[in-house]
Structure 1
């Protein structure tokens, strides 16, 4: 039975990191200690987190589809790099907003001691989220 380990117990983070590093991935690690933070940020943004996860997988699948064709692969990489360079400020702006929200949390809130939700990751893959939704739909059809 030990050989039949559940996929959930295998090193998921290692696999994700391996897929994402070549794509210029930015991973923001947050450690929410307050129930107020958890409710305000995590719950209200759960759909966005799922959406960014889907985009990450879609971009990875794009590269898998074109990895055998060097010319197409180079074009896709060049396109993505250009978009990352042009819109990378969006990621930094969002990080600043998170930092400001965390700084405003009441330090005397007893929930800082009582709640620890651990680290969760926001996987930033591409600032042009909505334009990539069409790509995601196409990838879902192809895979």
Structure 2
């Protein structure tokens, strides 16, 4: 249940801090290698980040790689079923911001919101998956 929620592109803006939209620009299937654009707003900065699915194990792992130039990096979501109604998630984030004035300004913004952004994402993901699961049970 949790993996399917994270894996659905339309759900990304509902739980990822700063995400405004997540759209595939190539066919979604197969997932591995599929290209996407992630629109984000981090403080006053609006970004359209290009990337691809770099790791995918159905039901367990989704890895996204950003290869935009200004920001490069990876986000790997791991999902482990605890039982039929619960799961545990993990996320590993690695990023590098370009040099120059723009890169330094963006780095300061990211550094200042990273911890609150992670807490927001964890909280929203928990809320959204729980609500989604309850809605499915009610059907």
Give me the TM-score of the superposition, normalised by structure 1.
Answer: 0.30
Return the structure number with greater helix share.
1
Return the structure number with greater strand share.
2
Higher relative contact order (CA 8 A, sep 6+): 1
* Greater Cα radius of gyration, structure 1 or 2: 1
